[in-house]
Structure 1
């Protein structure tokens, strides 16, 4: 019997890391996102179909001037493209509680296939009677492949922002 799982945003986070000037890493978060997983059975997430959206204007790097630049047409163009969208196409089991999540990621006007590593944390009933499942999701994308091509170079020739963006999500879903 199909089971629907809804994201619990108060117990989830979506983060990214990108190299700055090649010498340090800047971490940012998206504060507003939503997701649904539909599984064929309550206890078999390998059958899941995942839909996940991120509000691009909710980006937070702990520096408001940088956040405004990231929301601008140089990067996400949040006014024209208010959401980043992920839709799964398949899930492959890699081992005990480890999966490869494959799907289509849309940023701006570009949709590309991506793969994320997923670690299943398990299921539990919380103190309020809600049945929950937890996951750690990691992966890496090329920002330029998604049209995020803004770049600058220092006087010494160093790249200001790297192409590789590491993505991390720690998410809980509640059985509906």
Structure 2
């Protein structure tokens, strides 16, 4: 059974938008701290206060769902892990460039998407892929597993009739919990 703080579709813990804003501010302080180093000419001067746990909180809150998104785009477990790693480091290093902390979630997903698209366009990308195995819910009985499999097949068949960008938009909206404006920002769509 899902807790009240878990999303019905994905099963992931829900993310509070105010927590996202606080995390964005913490990352901005920490990333600036890492990038700036000591003030020029004074290696002994204290560094600005940094939130040393910001990156860990980012990983705790977003790694599973962002890996899922990377894997959906790349269809390769190793490439998805590498893309996620690069995107999380970029988020940590560049969060200070985010003008509006309220846009953090869309900005983070856009970073991940851009890294995945960059990898898809890389001519050195390996042709052979290693898809992540699907994890079975061990607490389901046979009847529930059968129902879940039948539902999954039905959903996959319905999604097969959509274009890739439409499937991606639905995935971001329904499974990842982004709102319409955030989906538009991630996919770089007009605000209409």
Q: Normalising by the residue count of structure 1, what TM-score does the alignment of the two structures yield?
A: 0.27
Max radius of gyration: which structure?
2
Structure with the larger helix share: 2
Higher relative contact order (CA 8 A, sep 6+): 1
Q: Normalising by the residue count of structure 2, what TM-score does the alignment of the two structures yield?
A: 0.25
